[in-house]
Amino acid sequence: MDNQLMHAKRIMANLKVADVNAAKDFYTGFLGLSNEEFNMGWVARYTSPRSGAQVQLVTSDATAADDAAVSIHTDDVEGAYAEAQRLGYEIVHPLQTEEWGVHRFLVRAPDGNVVNVVQHDD
């Protein structure tokens, strides 16, 4: 990692919802985030075709005990994991490749927010 700093390619808000499909109409209709990039039942991403604005709706994380407030996409998740450990941050979900194909870990920020640090193979 350059100068021990993680390179954030994208930051995505993870909004807590009781039911992704029940919440979908508000975000796709009223807010215009009409492109459904994916929907796994417990998490879905919606994007505006005009602006590229995005949001993820999350009921509860499928494999982690804590839900993340944001997802940070990076090119070097292993370097970010090592740096988070070196700095003594609480790792709330270890670095692993999830069954849906992302390589990620969850870390608790000093303010208490949980952050999903993720790398896609795209």
Condensed to tens digits (0 to 9), the pLDDT of residues 22-37 reads 999 999 999 999 999 9
Per DSSP, the three-state class of 46 is: strand
CA-CA distance, 79 to 43, in Å (whole number)? 26
Distance CA 55, CA 48 (A): 9
- Give, in degrees to the nearest 5, the angle at Cα 55 between 10 and 85: 45
Q: How high does pLDDT run on average in the chain?
A: 92
How far from the centroid of its chain's Cα atoms is residue 72's Cα? 6
**Mean predicted confidence (pLDDT) in 92-121:** 94
Q: What pLDDT is attached to residue 2?
A: 47
CATH code of 2-119, in short, is 3.10.180.10
Give which of 84, 25, 79 is closest to 57, Cα–Cα.
25
pLDDT for res 1: 46
Selected residue with higher pLDDT from 78 and 120: 78
